[in-house]
Structure 1
Amino acid sequence: MIEILSNAALATVQDLGRNGSLRWGVGTSGAMDDLALAAGNLMLGNPVGAAGIEIPVFPFKVRFGADCAFALTGADCDARLDERPLLPWWTHRARAGEVLALGVPKGPMRASRALLCLSGGVDVPEVLGSRSTQLRGAFGGFEGRALKRGDVLRCGHDGHGRPTGFGLVPPALAMPLQRDGIAAVRVLPAAEYLAFEPASREAFWDRDWKITAQSDRYGYRLDGEALRPIAPMELLSHGIVPGVIQVPHSGQPIVQMRDAQPSGGYPKFGTVIEADLWRLGQAPIGSRIRFIETTWAQAVAARDEARQWLAKVERMVALHCSARGAR
């Protein structure tokens, strides 16, 4: 088990999301960087969708109440275990009483969220088939809220005897994606795309967009050249999912993220493909992003590439554990 020693805002328990509940008006939630969570779990021998802790604000500290294997993925946070420096995207072993401290993210990847995965996963009750925290609904995760100082979380098992001390090349380096030196994500044009002026459509792809301070797990508000419709649009509220890019009357787009509500009435300009949502989820507030127009076939190929990367992770972990066990 671990004890939270920080009051860092918005650290939450997340798994891969609450699928199948949109019909009841319940959003998906889940880790903003699902690849980081899945990879951390695979390195520990956990089910790929086991719950971990997503940390978006630093510094962050936890104390281990028992021996525990753990993995750090996502942002490189100058991690230390009782002042011993730790590598990112690596598996480690803590002893009872040791303190893990995560500092402000650094490094060339410019990721913004760290994922702490524990051997056996974070043990909290499932709600609607998921352990993810739904902050707006105040359910799931740990008491339906962000973690705070004094909270004690249990994990499934301590991973005793499982090899640690190995790591991965992060997906941002293994599968880089940039446009003109700026981090990029791929987007499918959506239902109302052609209802916007040609100049606005061109500007959306050709210019970079700033992620504003009004961004969070619900949505990323962007700042750039306003997107103008050919004629005013009034739409009935309709279903939306994470990744949908809506355009309110201001013309400044909003990308729906993991805690997005399941319906909305703003025009839909595009959709960030599922395979790239983790890239956007790791983009720091205040940074700039570019959008790359893609096709359905290319979106499916990108999804397959991410799955193949995780399959390679699983094979690498199996080979490492086999080699360590043979010694």
Structure 2
Amino acid sequence: MFITIQKAGLLTSIQDQGRIGYQHIGVTTGGAMDPLAARLANLLVGNSENESVLEMTLIGPTIQFHMDTFIAICGAHLSPTLNTLPLPTGKLLFIRKGSTLSFGKTQVGCRAYLAIAGGFQVSSVLGSKSTHFPAQFGGVAGRACRDGDQIKIGQWSEKQRNMIQVYTRLADSKSTYFRSYFITTPLPKEGSRPILIRIIAGPQYQHFTEMSKQHLRRTPYRVNEQANRMGYRLDGASLSLSTPLEMLSEPVLFGTIQVPPSGQPILLAADAQTVGGYPKIAQVASVDRSLLAQAKPGNWLQFQLVDVQEAQSLLRRQALQYDIMKQALRMKWRQIV
């Protein structure tokens, strides 16, 4: 069982929830930029949460299916069509053998995730199938998908196989069936208003001038066109230290906001290095990671400073909402004979 990438799109790669436990040897966690959307797409098709998915950025691919299967699309809206007919996102979709799935330019958000029953059968490196672009391993030979790539599909579970067989008998050669339930994930609202991102003070926050702190909290920053999976360069008010600061390199994470000598902040992303030597003025609260991953070049970010306790409370609330969706989706699959 396999699919063919007929057109690869702007940046399409295989990702999962990343490599945990290797940052001490310089291997970044990586994985899906929007882990929430990837997890929910997997749950919709009956996979484990950590199964591999296709991450599609800004302009999506064209894919041909060589078997009947289930898919789900979560995250950004990249105008998906199946055999030229519009497809919904956030739903379980039955796809017939020979069908062609096409994505266009993004309408809302930046990154969409395609999950398929059984996941993608690629080699696991350090416990993950994720494409690690800096070191060129994982995924499809450590690189983005290319035109003509054929990617094998993993084995179906018994419930997935039974359900696909049922739908194969019910559907005619041109039909695509949608399950009635659907889910949504955090996406920026299109328009001129900045995307609100909660942050907590970084280790060197107190070393910045009062004016710089006010700029960070009160003035929006634009995501530069150089934004990628390693980080977002931000354009806006310059940030500066009160006095020069000698620093040793320290650990950094997804969402760390560093300030280089230019004064224009850099917001680190999934494939960023594991340590950095620039002063860290702030850290994006984990609750807003998915929203941040959906910001695209040209979007404006407005930062809101919160304390650690509030950030933890917001994350617990999001986790509770996710658990409710997860249990509902698992219950649906348990009902399958």
User: What value does the CA root-mean-square deviation take over the aligned residues?
Assistant: 2.0
* Counterparts of residues 1-80 of structure 1 (less than 5 Å): 1-80=2-81
> Contact 1:42–1:313 at 8 Å: present in 2 too?
no
Are 2:233 and 1:197 aligned? Answer: no
Letter in 1 for 2:179: G
Letter in 2 for 1:35: L
* Counterparts of residues 107-146 of structure 1 (less than 5 Å): 110-146=108-144
Letter in 2 for 1:86: L
Are 2:267 and 1:266 aligned? Answer: no
- SS of equivalent to 1:111: strand
Q: CA–CA distance in 1 between the matches of 2:280 and 2:47? A: 37
> Contact 2:225–2:298 at 8 Å: present in 1 too?
yes
> Contact 2:37–2:75 at 8 Å: present in 1 too?
yes
**Alignment TM-score, normalising by the size of structure 1:** 0.92
Are 2:182 and 1:168 aligned? Answer: yes
What is the number of residues matched between the two proteins?
319
Shift of 1:234: 3.0
1:219 corresponds in structure 2 to: 231
* Counterparts of residues 241-320 of structure 1 (less than 5 Å): 241-320=253-332
Shift of 1:177: 9.5
Q: CA–CA distance in 2 between the matches of 1:314 and 1:268? A: 35
Q: CA–CA distance in 1 between the matches of 2:30 and 2:60? A: 24
Q: CA–CA distance in 1 between the matches of 2:39 and 2:78? A: 19
**Tell me, which stretches of 5 or more residues in structure 2 are unaligned?**
165-177
- SS of equivalent to 1:139: coil
> Contact 2:26–2:274 at 8 Å: present in 1 too?
yes
Give CA-to-partner distance per residue, 1:21-52, whole Å, 9 cap, x none: 00110011110111100100111111111110
Q: CA–CA distance in 2 between the matches of 1:168 and 1:68? A: 18
> Contact 1:162–1:321 at 8 Å: present in 2 too?
no
Shift of 1:169: 3.8
1:187 corresponds in structure 2 to: 199
Shift of 1:315: 2.5
> Contact 1:13–1:142 at 8 Å: present in 2 too?
yes
Give CA-to-partner distance per residue, 1:113-132, whole Å, 9 cap, x none: 11001112112111111111
2:169 corresponds in structure 1 to: none
> Contact 1:177–1:185 at 8 Å: present in 2 too?
no
> Contact 1:40–1:72 at 8 Å: present in 2 too?
yes
**Tell me, which stretches of 5 or more residues in structure 1 are unaligned?**
none
Shift of 1:321: 4.3
**Alignment TM-score, normalising by the size of structure 2:** 0.89
Q: CA–CA distance in 2 between the matches of 1:234 and 1:14? A: 37
Structure 1 residue runs of 4 or more that deviate by more than 6 Å after TM superposition: none
- Which of 148, 151, 157 is matched with 2:149 structurally? 151
Change (3 A) 1:24 1:322: closer
Are 2:248 and 1:239 aligned? Answer: no
